Chains A and B, each alone.
Chain A
């Protein structure tokens, strides 16, 4: 039994079980929360518009982070694997490694204190820095592992360096880039629960409100929805990974 086969089987299991878990979680927690006797404070949080707002804020942060990561990490990874930029690669990898070794909450709070910003960008920028590494590393590994003979063959039949990159290197690196992106996205959804601390909203707001005001219904609703959202995004990422990779490599 190889590690790869192991992971594949576990992935298959999650592909099947995760959406079911998400639906059950969401249905159960909403049914539970809305059928309880809610006091005035709880009603301020447990109602359709507020919940939708929190989910929407959460999603926006996650999507912005993912877009930023995609825009920064993939081109950076491509540049750092070009022959002329290779000496710079270790520097960027070291910075990204430290970024990931640092506590997410610390990065978030520090950025907030130093910049004085609040809201969406105060959350999205530090989270981007925090989640950059997996995509950057996977992009670089994905490009570096390509058989040099293929690149040679591309140049040999008269492709320009750019054409080789676009038509050979990138398609072959797509599975790893996607895997990195999924990791980043799940990270982002997780860390976005902390956006509440920099007034960025999201499902963390419900958790924080529930905790501070001792309203467990609010806390639990927020937490369960955050769990469900993370599982959903992770599942979507797995699906995308499975169906978007080049068919010949599957």
Chain B
């Protein structure tokens, strides 16, 4: 087993730490965006304007499936980054390909859910509650979609150029982003989907 981090020069290490810290600061600012969207949702969730409320719209087993898929994808991204640190390109590609498949199935489920709501006349313009719901969950979905695109690009990069220091750094940032999105989803799952049913 060759440990990639042993092969990194001291300088490369330092650059990586600064980059990771910078990316962490970006994640924190993203956190603030989600905080304001959560606050908006918390204020507006009772304003259904005579329309359906959360209880009558959401299906719990469906949301549980979305949650488990996203959680598993966060796990496989972690395994992918471990493989990258061990300098195993094939294994890295395999784990991130699994992660990408899981994230695409999550997106498929979410788009299907949104399309069903809009088709039933319960789109974002129906009530304050639904505007807040679509903005909050949609913003998370947009993050997942952009993350999937990023993952696809990195898979191609690793396939053609191997696990260079730069590529390992990029994968590290992507994995961070992915774990962060799963943490946001835990909050969405609890607050948006579970609270109305308790």
A and B interact physically? no
